[in-house]
């Protein structure tokens, strides 16, 4: 059995989500090869080769993969993937974009966002915004899977010494082109990798008030997240949305500020180790899952909390 894991990256470094995906691959069992598809991505390949437990790193370094366009990368993955029993990607936007496309090219189903491996063909995944956990068995010869990072510990990024092999194939579907990207630069840890997350909701009232959460984040080394309502209202950018249809996080500490606790929000954070809720409405559903609830006006409680850290 051989497993191909797609390395999520930005041509500079490996996204930590890949480390959880490697752990899922180990639980399935078999030789693990990694695929790095990008352009000028030598540093990524080098880092990938150090991930513990990996046999080989395939590197497709070519201009056609520069922006990891789904149309091109799916052709590469479907081509290389034929030699494997499993193809795994992370639950990042890059893999969510191209992996179903690769699966369809291989004429196999995809199993999305697994949180546990029961056996080489049977997996657990949340459905209905995490209100049910389905155990799913695949009958396909090649299992194409995305892995939810919160379900698996990270494999060690050091200690491995995989061989690195260049892949020449340059697949260009010729139907799409990258135009531009607006990446929100932040000194803070990435939401899905942070050990502390503080999120704001509609109760924050506007974007400027998120500065209060940022001050707390600075003291705790936290990432800042948001509810959909806060994103829709334009308080903060879309990449901060936590929830069923946003990012899934499970930090050691999650602090929900001015968030009511709709099922779609809970779906993205209820596996956090410790949950704190600050809300002025004592009936807010978020209190039903919070370890520590503080019924208070956030405009008083948050600055006080920050000053006492």
Partner 1 sequence: MKVLIAVKRVVDANVKVNVLADNSGVDLNNVKMAINPFCEIAVEEAIRLKEKGVATEIVAVCIGPKTGQETLRTALALGADRAILVETDTQVDPLGIAKVLKAVCDKEEPQIVITGKQSIDSDNNQTGQMLAALAGYAQGTFASEITVDGDKLTVVREIDGGLQTVALNLPAVVSTDLRLNEPRYASLPNIMKAKKKPLDVLTPEELGVDVAPRTTTLKVEAPAQRSAGIKVESVDELVDKLKNEARVI
Ligand X SMILES: Cc1cc2nc3c(=O)[nH]c(=O)nc-3n(C[C@H](O)[C@H](O)[C@H](O)COP(=O)(O)OP(=O)(O)OC[C@H]3O[C@@H](n4cnc5c(N)ncnc54)[C@H](O)[C@@H]3O)c2cc1C
Residues in the site for ligand X, rule: CB under 6 A? 201-203, 227-230, 241-246, 258-260, 262, 264-265, 268, 279-281, 284, 297-299
DSSP string, 68-80: --HHHHHHHHHHH
Per CB under 8 A, contacts with partner 1 among 184-243 are 184, 196, 220, 228, 231-232, 237-239, 241
Return d(Cα 211, Cα 217) in angstroms, integer.
9
Q: Which among 305, 302, 308 is positioned nearest to 211, based on CA atoms?
A: 302
Per CB under 8 A, contacts with partner 1 among 1-40 are none
Contact predicate 213/200, CB 8 Å: yes
Return d(Cα 160, Cα 119) in angstroms, integer.
25
- Decide which of partner 1, ligand X, none touches 250; Cβ closer than 5 to 8 Å per partner kind: none
Q: Is position 163 an interface residue for partner 1 (rule: CB under 8 A)?
A: no
Of 56 and 202, nearer to ligand X (C-beta) is 202
Of 167 and 295, nearer to ligand X (C-beta) is 295
Contact predicate 215/188, CB 8 Å: no
- Decide which of ligand X, partner 1, none touches 279; Cβ closer than 5 to 8 Å per partner kind: ligand X
Q: Is position 175 an interface residue for partner 1 (rule: CB under 8 A)?
A: yes
Q: Tell me how long the chain is.
A: 309
- Decide which of partner 1, ligand X, none touches 131; Cβ closer than 5 to 8 Å per partner kind: partner 1
- In angstroms, what is the minimal distance from the CB of 114 to ligand X? 19
For residue 14, what is the DSSP state?
Answer: B
- Decide which of ligand X, partner 1, none touches 230; Cβ closer than 5 to 8 Å per partner kind: ligand X
Q: Which two tokens stand for residue 120?
A: 């080489």
Return d(Cα 103, Cα 110) in angstroms, integer.
6
- Decide which of ligand X, partner 1, none touches 202; Cβ closer than 5 to 8 Å per partner kind: ligand X
């Amino acid at each position: 059995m051989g497993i191909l894991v797609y390395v999520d990256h930005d041509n500079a470094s490996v996204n930590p989500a890949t480390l959880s995906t490697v752990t899922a691959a180990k639980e399935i069992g078999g030789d693990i090869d990694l695929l790095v598809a990008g352009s000028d991505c030598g540093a990524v390949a080098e880092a990938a080769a150090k991930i513990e437990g990996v046999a080989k790193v395939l590197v497709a370094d070519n201009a056609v993969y520069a922006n990891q366009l789904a149309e091109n990368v799916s052709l590469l993955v479907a081509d290389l993937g034929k030699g494997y029993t499993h193809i795994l990607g992370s639950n990042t936007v890059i893999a969510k974009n191209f992996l179903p496309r690769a699966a369809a090219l291989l004429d196999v189903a995809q199993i999305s966002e697994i949180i546990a491996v029961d056996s080489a063909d049977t997996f657990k995944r949340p459905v209905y915004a995490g209100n049910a956990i389905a155990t799913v068995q695949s009958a396909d010869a090649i299992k194409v899977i995305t892995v939810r990072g919160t379900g698996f510990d990270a494999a060690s990024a050091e200690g491995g010494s995989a061989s690195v092999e260049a892949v020449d194939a340059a697949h260009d579907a010729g139907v799409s082109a990258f135009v531009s990207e607006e990446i929100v630069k932040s000194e803070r840890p990435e939401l899905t990798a942070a050990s502390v997350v503080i999120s704001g909701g509609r109760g924050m009232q506007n974007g400027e008030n998120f500065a209060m959460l940022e001050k707390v984040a600075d003291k705790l080394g936290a990432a800042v997240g948001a509810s959909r309502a806060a994103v829709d209202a334009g308080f903060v950018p879309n990449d901060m949305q936590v929830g069923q249809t946003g990012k899934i996080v499970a930090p050691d500490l999650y602090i929900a500020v001015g968030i009511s606790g709709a099922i779609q929000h809970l779906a993205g954070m209820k596996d956090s180790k410790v949950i704190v809720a600050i809300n002025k409405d004592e009936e807010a559903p978020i209190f039903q899952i919070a370890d520590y609830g503080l019924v208070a006006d956030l405009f008083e409680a948050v600055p006080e909390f920050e000053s006492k850290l």
